[in-house]
Amino acid sequence: MNFLPGPAQTTAICLSVALPLLLLCYARIAAIGGAGRRFRLGCLSVIALFVITCIAIPGPRNLDDLVSGLFLLATAMMLCYVLFSLLAWGFTLTLLTALVQAGRPLTSEQWAAAYMQGGDLGTFAHNRLKLLIGSGMVTTADDKLAPTARGLAVAHLVKLVRFSTGLG
Amino acid sequence: MSFAIGLIAAVVFTLLAPAMQFIARVQGWSLAPVILLAIAAVVSHLLGVLLGVLTLPQFRYWDAASIFGFGVMGYVFAFGAVYKSVSLDILLGLVDRPGRKAPLSDVVERQVPALFQGRTKILIDGGLVEQVGSRFAATEAGQIMAKRIGRLRHAFGIGDTGLYDFPD
Structure confidence at residue B168 as a pLDDT band (50, 70, 90): very low
Nearest-CA residue of chain B relative to A126? B108
Judge: B157–A26 Cβ closer than 8 Å, yes or no.
Answer: yes
Average pLDDT, chain B: 91
Nearest-CA residue of chain A relative to B60? A2
The values of phi and psi at residue A36, to 5°, are -65, -45
The amino acid at residue A52 is I
Q: What is the C-alpha separation between A63 and A80, in angstroms, rounded?
A: 26
Judge: B119–A92 Cβ closer than 8 Å, yes or no.
Answer: yes
- Using an 8 Å CB-CB cutoff, list chain A residues near B25: 166, 168
Mean pLDDT is lowest, of A112-126, A154-168, B92-106, for: A112-126
Asked if the structure places residue A112 within a domain, the reply is no
Asked if the structure places residue A58 within a domain, the reply is yes
**Which of A3, A71, A97 lies closest to B61 in CB terms?**
A3
Q: What is the pLDDT of residue B98?
A: 87
Per-residue pLDDT tens over the stretch B109-145: 888 888 888 999 999 999 999 999 999 999 999 999 9
- What is the DSSP code (8-state) at residue A2? B
Asked if the structure places residue A118 within a domain, the reply is no
Start-to-end Cα distance in chain A: 40
Structure confidence at residue A40 as a pLDDT band (50, 70, 90): very high
pTM of the model: 0.86
The amino acid at residue B143 is Q
Tell me the average pLDDT across A151-159. Answer: 94
Domain positions in chain B are: 2-82, 103-155
In this model, does residue A116 exceed pLDDT 90?
Answer: no
Q: What is the C-alpha separation between B5 and B86, in angstroms, rounded?
A: 37
Structure confidence at residue A100 as a pLDDT band (50, 70, 90): very high
Percent of chain B topping pLDDT 90: 64
Q: What is the pLDDT of residue B144?
A: 97
Note whether B152 and A86 are within 8 A (CB).
no
Q: Could you tell me which residues come within 8 angstroms of residue B2 by beta carbon, excluding any fewer than 6 positions away?
A: B52, B56, B58, B59, B60, B61, B63, B64
Percent of chain B topping pLDDT 70: 95
Structure confidence at residue A45 as a pLDDT band (50, 70, 90): very high
Asked if the structure places residue A139 within a domain, the reply is no
* Among A82, A84, A77, residue whose Cα is nearest residue A35: A84
Domain with A32 in it: 7-89
Structure confidence at residue A14 as a pLDDT band (50, 70, 90): very high
Q: What is the pLDDT of residue B160?
A: 67
Other beta carbons within 10 Å of A55: 8
Asked if the structure places residue A122 within a domain, the reply is no
Other beta carbons within 10 Å of B16: 18
Q: Helix/strand/coil (H, E, C) string of chain B?
A: CHHHHHHHHHHHHHHHHHHHHHHHHHHCCCCCHHHHHHHHHHHHHHHHHHHHHHHCCCCEHHHHHHHHHHHHHHHHHHHHHHCCCHHHHHHHHHHCCHHHCEEHHHHHHHHHHHHHHHHHHHHHHCCCEEEECCEEEECHHHHHHHHHHHHHHHHCCCCCCCCCCCCC
Judge: A91–B157 Cβ closer than 8 Å, yes or no.
Answer: no
